[in-house]
Amino acid sequence: MANTMVTQGRTFVALLASFLVYAIPLPGPHAAPLLGGALFGAITRSSGNALTLPTIVFAVAAQILTFLVVRWCLGEKRRLLLLVLYVPVLVVGTIASTLLLIPRAVLIAADDAADNLAWPITCSLKEASVQAVRSPAGGALGRAGEVWIRMGRDGSGFGLMHGDCTVTALTPPPTGTMHSLLFAVPGGITLESTWDVKTQQTYWWRRPSTTADATAVDSMPGGVDGPPILSDDGGWIVVVRRPRPPPASPELLLGRFSDGVSRVVDLAPLERGSFMPIGANLRLDSAGRLDEGTIQLSRSDEEF
């Protein structure tokens, strides 16, 4: 009877100890969530992603292994030293598996493409580098044969390189420093920003073409939540703003540059999220009024 109770007690302790697997922290750049919390968040967020199922399988396997090891080590006192050695191996193995091995196996495909070192050089530019600029979805800039570049030794200037390798340099906005190129649509239409150090204020600018000067966006509302974008034709600005602090839902503000006409789209039906506009294709009726359109948004890093 006593042996049975000891065995049952050892089994119960091993079972409780096995759940400590889900308390292993997973170090990240900004936080160290626990394995259990990370799995719960992945499962409840749109049924997880490609890493969720293999990570769950690993966690369950690690829990079963921990249960067996703890139960076996509790059988004799001299085995407890092995239990002390098992804990750091479990922690390091879990971190390495969930943050390195599983993502590498699931997300990285084998490189089976043949190397091609004979691509011809179309042109080369001194003191220039390609600048990644947000633009309408679908590779609109690429189809238009336009590539934005940084220019100068310090990379402070911007220019638009065309398919024939000619470059049109942008004239910086007249106010502020830290000139940034936020969004661009074909034709050299851009949305830019500068920062005024004295007033600690961001200025927004729209440029109708690369040969034109940047004009200030005076209608930028307060409470802007994230960087705005331009519509596909460059005629509208699309802004996510929060009229009230969270948990109040944000809203989408559409503003036309030509006449200041605006339209507000409520985002409450999309539930909560960190919304960011990606693209906007807005269509007008015969009278020039906003008729319909498609706006692409991201609600999180995984939901669009």
Q: Calculate Rg over the CA atoms of the chain.
A: 28
Closest to 80 in 3D by CA, of 88, 72, 90: 72
pLDDT over 80 (residue 25) = yes
Q: Count other C-beta atoms under 10 Å from residue 60's C-beta.
A: 12
Once rounded to an integer, what is the mean pLDDT over residues 157-178? 87
pLDDT over 60 (residue 163) = yes
Q: How do residues 111-147 score in pLDDT, each as one tens digit?
A: 777 777 777 887 888 888 888 889 987 888 888 888 9
pTM attached to this predicted model: 0.60
Using alpha carbons, list the distances in angstroms from residue 299 to 45, 116, 122, 231, 278. 11, 39, 39, 19, 11
Contacts of 72 by beta carbon, 8 Å cutoff, 6+ apart: 79
Specify the higher pLDDT residue, 233 or 247.
233
What 3-state DSSP class applies to 259? coil
Using alpha carbons, list the distances in angstroms from residue 125 to 163, 166, 210. 13, 10, 19
Within 13 Å and on the Cβ side, how many CA atoms surround 175?
A: 12
Cα 148 to Cα 208: distance, rounded to the nearest angstrom: 15
Cα 250 to Cα 196: distance, rounded to the nearest angstrom: 27
Q: How do residues 221-241 score in pLDDT, each as one tens digit?
A: 676 777 888 998 888 888 888
Within 13 Å and on the Cβ side, how many CA atoms surround 209?
A: 3
16-51: string of b/e by CB count within 10 Å (b at 16+)?
A: ebbebbbebebeeeeeeeebeebbeebeeeeebeeb
